[in-house]
A and B are shown apart, each in its own frame.
Chain A
Amino acid sequence: MRAALCATCLVDQFFPEVGEAVVAVLRRAGVEVSFPEEQTCCGQVAFNGGYEREAREAALRFLDVFDGSEHVVVPSGSCASMMKVFYLELFEDDPALLERARSLSERTHEFTEFMVNVVGDTAAAKGFEGKVTYHDACHSLRELRISAEPRALLEQAGAEVVEMQDSDRCCGFGGLFSVKYPHISTAILEEKLANIEATGADAVATTDCGCLMHIRGAMSRKGMQQRALHVAEALAAANAGEGA
């Protein structure tokens, strides 16, 4: 099976280790991974800010970049939603482009959903030691309805998965929102951190690099002991026999 990795701009520029983990996990499952280098950003940051023209430009480029890919795997629920759901809106007035957007939408998969539903082989090593709680990234959950997949993968990797209270509540990131209204954004985040802490888990795992950046940023600021991981990082660590 072949898959093109859409790394997302956050992974590309801030969290390359997440990209490495994704590649390692995919390859271990026998997937032939490619990385079309012309990819940059899916356009979500512009789209969510209301900058539709700029978002459309970015989306057009992605239609080209991933034109021939059998599957496109995205380690971020919000970017995957952008490509699967919102591109269709961006091009709804242009039948030819809409057709291409539809094709990309069908071929695009959020990473955990791809592992469970397409690869099917989730027999990652059970080497992960530690307690993990999963934070439902909003777009993964409410645009793509992904919630069982990442939890199943974590469990199969050997993690003890504990549920936090309100795991499905937003972490307060919201892209532009996090810098436009930092006082509200951090108030929401505080509640998330308290819920993570209350589980006694060693790490919180999620499927979106926006949430990851947000939660990690606060944990770092507060000097919290827990780690914030992308699910792929937990799976790669399991393969390497490491824990949280």
Chain B
Amino acid sequence: MSVRTAQFRSASAQAVADPKLQTALERVMGHFTEARAHAIEEFPGDSWEQLRERASAIKAHTLEHLDYYLELVDKSVTRNGGHVHFAADAEEAARIVLDIAKQAEAKQVIKSKSMVSEEMELNRRFEEAGVEPVETDLGEYIIQLAGETPFHIIAPAMHKSRQEVSALFQQWLKSAPTNEIKQLCAIARDALREKFRTADMGVSGANFVVAETGTVVLVTNEGNGRMTTSLPRVHVAISGIEKVIPAIEDVSLFLRLLPRSATGQRITSYNSFVSGPRAQSDEDGPEEFHLVLVDNGRLNLLRDPEFREALKCIRCGACLNTCPVYRKIGGHAYGWVYSGPIGAVITPMLTGVKGAKDLPYASTLCGACRDVCPVKIDLPRLLLRLRQREAEGDPARERSSTWLERMLMGRWSNAVKTREAMERSARLGRFLQRPMERSGRIRRLPVPVLSGWSRGRDFPPLARKSFAQVWRERLAQEPSE
């Protein structure tokens, strides 16, 4: 997916001003957060907290020993008759998948949801190679027809109204107009059923990759994942290297955390475990199985002890759903595959800080994301660390802070050095603010950096007397009652 992170400011402004988008965000985000809260109420005492602790610890352990577990994945998948490919970046990953398609003489490919394939712009690559890719997750199918990218990690087409979906289906599938969701689903099912039957190759993502058994675990609600991985001759699973967990026993823990955190479901409709190609005794399943493990910047995160924990992410989307910023601007404004708080952290690390320098500041640091994260990633802290690197200047990277901001910060730093310096600055401020002040408020603040405040908010003028002055004059002597 092309990187458009540099347009964060204008894209987010557009989103905020789009009433249709606002309605969709309010509805879907409201539903997700409520459903999640209900699902977690069922856990007595601190038992939910304990699950999070355990999941976080398992992820930390796996990341700590990722080299070992990746080797184990390689051995297990190979033992099961599958093939493992390691891809250093999105480009190599795409090449590997295209090669597999070429070898298999695949002309039609069906896909179940994979965010890593978005990193690779896999659909575009398939088309350029003369292969027809069809997304089979309903949301992904809709945005594929619309020529868009996912708006949300787990609800890619949540911003599309049923009218828009109907229009897309009329345009691309020549279907009759309808606003009935049931009918829209039936139209998509009809169109996709044919693709499932005729596809040569299925491409899936992976929610978890179990190292010990070489199993790819897929969590879906539509059953498309199971069909994608079992009907075509060839199955290619694509996964970020961080999706590995040690043992099959660990899966149940994550399956309890993931759907509840994501949609508030106790369990998703389909939980598929794919361990390689069809065995002789199997009645169905693919003849060939490939697992493509993608780095694409993740090793940089892994090697950085301050940011490694971001790789614990299981892509549930809970941090997006609860984030006051995401809830106003949605996913596209973030400019790349991942959005919300986790996107603001990993996008700069995966695509380069230079273009994504606005993202670490796209947060109020309210901490809501940290509280809902099923693997306890301290997202506000990671955003702060990114800001620190930006402000202080990392020799390897371009600064995001402007000289003006740094100058103001220097001024501030001097002004708060002593009480006297602070009073002196305040005195000057009180003098300068006089022309701006009208009946106890400042409507326009023509001061660099601070001027944005004037939008929709009055600024309080500096008080006639600071609290310190009031204390000296009136309060210090007042005896306790």
Contacts and interface: CB of A to CB of B under 8 A. Distances in A.
A23 interface: yes
Given A27-B478, A50-B388, A220-B441, A14 B462 contact: yes
Interface string A146-185: 0000000000000000000000111011111111111111
Interface stretch (A41-49, A92-100, A106-114, A195-203): A41-49
Contact of A16 (B401, B466, B480): B466
A217 interface: yes
B312 interface: no
A57 interface: yes
Nearest to B387: A50
A16 B467 contact: yes
Contact of A40 (B364, B384, B418, B481): B418
A188 B419 contact: no
Q: How large is the interface on B (under 10, 10 to 19, 20 to 34, 35 or more residues)?
A: 35 or more
Interface string A9-43: 10111111001100100011011110101111101
A216 interface: yes
Contacts of B478: 23, 27
B364 A218 contact: no
Interface string B463-481: 1011111111001101011
B389 interface: yes
Contact of A51 (B386, B391, B455): B391
A186 to B, nearest CB: 4
Interface stretch (A66-74, A123-131, A136-144, A229-237): A136-144
A177 B364 contact: yes
Given A13-B463, A138-B364, A143-B367, A183 B416 contact: no
B300 to A, nearest CB: 20
A163 to B, nearest CB: 15
B457 interface: yes
A213 B460 contact: yes
B256 interface: no
Contacts of B480: 27, 30-33
Given A142-B370, A170-B324, A183-B13, A7 B467 contact: yes
Contacts, number: 209
Q: How large is the interface on A (under 10, 10 to 19, 20 to 34, 35 or more residues)?
A: 35 or more
B384 A48 contact: yes
A206 B386 CA distance: 30
B387 A19 contact: no
A52 interface: yes
Interface string B91-122: 00000000000000000000000000000000
A29 to B, nearest CB: 9
A36 B460 CA distance: 25
A238 B456 CA distance: 31
Main SS at interface, chain A: helix
Given A9-B416, A52-B388, A180-B452, A138 B463 contact: no
Interface string B388-432: 111110000000010001000110110111110110001001000
A54 interface: yes
B453 A179 contact: yes
A58 B416 contact: yes
Contacts of B475: 20, 23, 35
B470 A38 contact: no
Contacts of B417: 40, 57, 61
Interface string A67-107: 00000000000000000000000000000000000000000
A50 B391 contact: yes
Contacts of B329: 184
A176 to B, nearest CB: 7
19 contacts: A7-B467, A7-B468, A13-B466, A23-B471, A33-B480, A38-B419, A40-B418, A54-B412, A138-B368, A142-B371, A180-B452, A181-B12, A182-B455, A183-B13, A184-B16, A188-B325, A190-B456, A220-B457, A221-B458
Given A12-B467, A32-B480, 7 more contacts: A13-B429, A54-B410, A142-B371, A182-B453, A183-B12, A184-B328, A217-B453
